[in-house]
Structure 1
Amino acid sequence: MLSLRVLSLCIGVWLLLSIVGECNAQQILRAEHCEGSEESNDNPFKRPKHVYRDSRTASRVARRLVGNNTVAMINTQFEHGNDTVAMSFPEYAIDCFDSGDPVLLFIKMSHNWRNIAVQAGYDSSVTYTVDSSEFDADWPGASPGSMYGMPRVNLRGHFRLLRVAGDDAFDPEADRIQQCFLSAHRETGSWFPGDGNRVHSSVWTEFVVDSGYFVGGFGGYAYIGALGNDEYHYQHSQDVDEGSLHL
């Protein structure tokens, strides 16, 4: 009889440990808490304050990404003999006009520009990511401390050459772009297009966004999917609930 009781107790302990183990595994896979674990401040998968699964909100977050970052990864195609190879390099890219279509300063000798210049219509793709300094709770749907729990966006579109005056005449648009770049990257002053450039031939361009693909973080907390042109370029500052998402 005693052996039976001991056996029953062992089975009960084993079942309890199994339940706890299953709960922890599901918690990790689903980025959720088991009941009673909400008090832990060390859990990196704590449910974000703001959860969203719609493309409209994702477009607002994407615009914030573009507005906050001053460096973009440019993805182009490099023709090497009979092969086409994907190539990615960073470039200075700033949303100087707050339009969602960032301005880029290209040095014409760079691989990025040479790859872009040979493409019809300057079609290319720009990827914006968030670095470690942005791993904070201000991003809607974010899981701070995890790169995969943070938002990122891939924007697809085409480049438009900006025909702005050089040093020989005052151009308000050129002055605005120059001041915009100098505020973020002071060293770029010697690269600006115009007669004063004694370093390399360069050009101002605007990347006109046509569409995008957005990953807000973990799928249970943030939108993952396509972004349309109209939603992305919508003037989100008109949204009455904007403050609730800290955008």
Structure 2
Amino acid sequence: MHLTDVALTGFGLVGLSLASLLPGSQHIFSNPSSESTSGFSIPSVHESAVQARRVLRLENIGTLSTVFPSDASANHHDIHSTEQRPHGLGGVPIGLMDYYADCEPKSGNPTILAIDIATSFKNVAAGSNITLSLRWHPQDGHWHSAASLPRFSLVGHLEDIDDSDASKAGLATCFVKNHPDAVAWLPGNRIHTSRWVRLVVDDVYWIGGFGDRAYIGWIPLETWHNVTQKEIDACRLPGEKSTWSWADWL
């Protein structure tokens, strides 16, 4: 069913009028040719990678997606008894909010404080793959269409960061700057066992917004890594507040 059909059946002529006002409705969910009929060129794959790296820097909360292990796994009995977890969840995906920070910016691999008792990290320990999904939240508060804004998923795997490397990279300082409350569960805390991990990016899937004005598709890993810090600094996202001040000019 086409968008105009939905408008006619669900909203009548008013809905049809609204649909006709949507930007390039024939390409809302797919990429058009490199240049639209209006002459507007959609961002290239590299430009989209720069935007994604900018989102990675400015945001600090995402959704970790994993899958539950099968009931036949070695520790399923203990998990079911302590969590009251229902049976039959093997292979079922679950997405949960979690903190991250861009503490190794040259790598493009987000830093995560893994709490071993948390479901996402128990699933990974049981063999699950993992994805971190992010979306851009405009800072000016005047953006009304979330569907028109960038969002993407980083498909990867977790890699432990030893204490020496974590100290050299200043991970604790960086992470607490992004998440002040996380100071309570840094490694060595008395509440939960925790450790530093990086999500090593293996694949990137990007949706820049509506398909008539943004790239939608996979970003090659080489392109992801080739984004420079200068490009990230120069990039501005939709609805991003200006950080310029007189101090910059002086």
TM over 0.5: yes
Give the AA of the match of 1:214: W
CA contact (8 A) 1:53 1:224 kept: no
3-state DSSP of counterpart to 1:212: strand
Question: Greater RCO between the two (CA within 8 Å, min separation 6)?
Answer: 2
Cα distance change of structure 1 residues 85 and 24 upon mapping to structure 2, 3 Å threshold: closer
Superposition deviation, residue 207 in structure 1: 0.5
The correspondence for 1:127, drawn from 129, 133, 153, is 133
2:114 counterpart of 1:106: yes
Matched ranges for 1:186-205 at <5 A: 186-194=180-188, 197-205=189-197
Superposition deviation, residue 221 in structure 1: 0.8
1:89 and 1:190 map into 2 onto residues whose CA distance is 20
Q: Which of the two has higher C-alpha Rg? A: 1
Matched ranges for 1:1-247 at <5 A: 25-28=19-22, 30=24, 52-81=42-71, 83-98=90-105, 99-119=107-127, 123-131=129-137, 133=139, 144-165=143-164, 171-173=167-169, 176-194=170-188, 197-237=189-229, 243=234, 245-246=235-236
Deviations 1:36-83 (A, max 9, x none): xxxxxxxxxxxxxx8524211110111111111111210000125363
1:109 and 1:192 map into 2 onto residues whose CA distance is 14
2:21 and 2:216 map into 1 onto residues whose CA distance is 20
CA contact (8 A) 1:96 1:180 kept: yes
3-state DSSP of counterpart to 1:79: coil
CA contact (8 A) 2:66 2:120 kept: yes
Superposition deviation, residue 222 in structure 1: 0.7
Superposition deviation, residue 103 in structure 1: 0.4
TM-score where L is the length of structure 1:
0.69
CA contact (8 A) 2:67 2:129 kept: no
CA contact (8 A) 1:75 1:89 kept: yes
CA contact (8 A) 1:150 1:216 kept: yes
1:106 and 1:242 map into 2 onto residues whose CA distance is 28
Superposition deviation, residue 31 in structure 1: 5.4
1:100 and 1:154 map into 2 onto residues whose CA distance is 13
TM-score where L is the length of structure 2:
0.68
For structure 2, the 5+ residue unaligned runs are 1-14, 27-39, 72-87, 238-250
2:138 and 2:43 map into 1 onto residues whose CA distance is 24
3-state DSSP of counterpart to 1:94: coil
1:182 and 1:25 map into 2 onto residues whose CA distance is 45
Pairs aligned (count): 193
CA contact (8 A) 2:108 2:224 kept: yes
Give the AA of the match of 1:28: L
1:54 and 1:212 map into 2 onto residues whose CA distance is 15
1:229 and 1:181 map into 2 onto residues whose CA distance is 25
Give the AA of the match of 1:73: T
RMSD: 3.0
Cα distance change of structure 1 residues 24 and 203 upon mapping to structure 2, 3 Å threshold: closer
CA contact (8 A) 1:210 1:228 kept: no
